[in-house]
Amino acid sequence: MISIKKLEKRIEDSRSLLCVGLDSDLERVPQKFRKHKHSQYEFNKYIIEATNKYVCAYKLNTAFYEKRGLIGLEDLKKTIDYINNNHPNIFTICDAKRGDINNTSRAYAEFVYEYLSFDAVTVNPYLGKDSVDPFLEYNGKAVIILVRTSNPGSSDFQDLLIDGRKLWQIIADKAGKSWNVNGNVMMVMGGTNINELKTARKEYKNIHFLVPGIGVQGGDIIKILEAGIRPDASGLVIMNSSRGVIFAKEPEIEAKIIYENILRYLKLR
Amino acid sequence: MISIKKLEKRIEDSRSLLCVGLDSDLERVPQKFRKHKHSQYEFNKYIIEATNKYVCAYKLNTAFYEKRGLIGLEDLKKTIDYINNNHPNIFTICDAKRGDINNTSRAYAEFVYEYLSFDAVTVNPYLGKDSVDPFLEYNGKAVIILVRTSNPGSSDFQDLLIDGRKLWQIIADKAGKSWNVNGNVMMVMGGTNINELKTARKEYKNIHFLVPGIGVQGGDIIKILEAGIRPDASGLVIMNSSRGVIFAKEPEIEAKIIYENILRYLKLR
């Protein structure tokens, strides 16, 4: 099944738009998991078992695994294998933010899609079309273009005006239109500026957005849903929470609260 | 010693401005190395021993190692350790093109500077200042900002005009001026457009440029030297060749030719 269809099926079945980010920085993982050799993997299994019925997707950021070198990469691989084996219907995102010249991007595509077996990867568009092609062409896998990020510095370049349009909009135009010939493009659209999200939804009606920034970064779930899901558009919003869920005192309760808020909103519509 | 000083010392001692890119894609590595368990590492050792007297730096692109998963990361680690142990004066660049929100970039900085022990890393600036800060603040290590790349798609966004200046120039202004408070910033400046290189040298006199694109990508060594090294500027150009050297029939001869061309030019001045 092509990855975007897998995501849509999972959303339909779970009624969830929550993505939990397994940013399992070992320094913040509770002490009891740290005694294990595969400490990040053991912690992730615990989080996955606590949250899987409330999520449509898991997102793993490579940074927190690579930081630990070989053992971290092992834990990353064991975690994605665990999800694929035990919860094969859940959509998986490798938050790698890669992007390089063409033949090099192809090697990254093999890393995330083949070696690690993720359904999707986040890609940095700064190097242009040929740097994104190897991901776009990868046999039905999903590609999530970094369009608008939610961090404080995002405005440094993403807000620059080119003939009256912001840089992120120029990139969104490319990503959402000319790059999407295989129907496998998604976009990162930060959740901290609701008006931008509204604008983007009007312009790219059929693209699913990955919205980081709920929870710790301050994004408001209901406002994001109002802006990102419209009766005249088929594109959905997948909202990510990482630290806010996984390092909560009770991750299950935290995920459940977000899930129920989403469910309530969807039923109200 | 802070990393930029290490680079300058190595250039002074070796009289070389050549960086060899160990993009040791296993599919292109000669058959005789592939029988080893650590095939990329064995190949890299051979290349390093053949070329070290002609280089100021080695650059390793993480993609070609990550593609192979754990064994690739092991070969990457063994290679950088080999360089650091046997040729400690050679400047080392992790061509990782990373960049993420602040706390995540910090994890990447630990990966490349701490776990792998590189002197420098390439960083993608699209997420803005706070995504680059963890690299800039890392205790004397060098940060090479992707300003202008040499691939065909680089013009998609890097050439966009903002009030008469191209996006890559806006990024170069930030990188070369406001981000360079610790004096550890370098820039990637593609070698395929000589006029841009000239312009950049005039504007950022004290910044060292990493120039990819010589050899396979078509950059001309002498023109790059003329444009990038000026009597009124202290910034140097480090020229990278990857495939053109390492997959040459005789890598040593190939590196030597480039080295001698550089040397001849420097003496002529």
Tell me the pairing of strands A237-241 and A18-21: parallel
Q: How many residues does chain A have?
A: 269
| ∠ CA A213-A135-A195, rounded to 5° | 30
| Chain A CB within 8 Å of residue B161 CB | yes
Q: What does the pLDDT read at residue B150? A: 86
Does the interface ipTM go beyond 0.90? yes
Q: Are A151 and A157 in contact (CB under 8 A)?
A: no
| Chain A CB within 8 Å of residue B104 CB | yes
Q: Are B229 and B221 in contact (CB under 8 A)?
A: no
pLDDT tens, B130-170?
Answer: 999 999 999 899 999 999 998 999 999 999 999 999 999 99
- Any catalytic annotation for residue A32? no
Q: Which residue of B has its CA nearest to A165?
A: B162
pLDDT tens, A207-261?
Answer: 999 999 787 566 699 999 999 999 999 999 999 999 999 999 999 999 999 999 9
pLDDT tens, B66-111?
Answer: 999 999 999 999 999 999 999 999 999 999 999 999 999 999 999 9
| Chain B CB within 8 Å of residue A99 CB | yes
Q: What is the 3-state secondary structure (H, E, C) of B134-152?
A: HHHCCCCCEEEEEEECCCH
Distance CA B254, CA A19 (A): 50
Q: State what percent of residues in chain B have pLDDT above 70.
A: 98
| Chain B CB within 8 Å of residue A155 CB | yes
Distance CA A162, CA A170 (A): 8
Q: What does the pLDDT read at residue A219? A: 66
What letter represents residue A104's amino acid? T
Q: Are A100 and A128 in contact (CB under 8 A)?
A: no
Contact between chains at A124 and B129 (C-beta distance less than 8 A)? no
Among residues B10, B14, B7, the alpha carbon closest in space to that of B258 is found at: B14
pLDDT above 90 (res A150): no
* A116: chain B residues, CB-CB within 8 Å: 69
Distance CA B268, CA B262 (A): 10
| Chain B CB within 8 Å of residue A86 CB | no
pLDDT above 80 (res B218): no
| Binding-face residues of B in 163-192 toward A, CB within 8 A | 167, 170-171, 174
Contact between chains at A73 and B77 (C-beta distance less than 8 A)? no
* A153: chain B residues, CB-CB within 8 Å: 102, 127-132
Contact between chains at A167 and B152 (C-beta distance less than 8 A)? no
Tell me the pairing of strands B185-189 and B237-241: unpaired
Q: What is the pTM (predicted TM-score) of this model?
A: 0.97
Among A102, A103, A153, the residue with its CB nearest the CB of B129 is A153
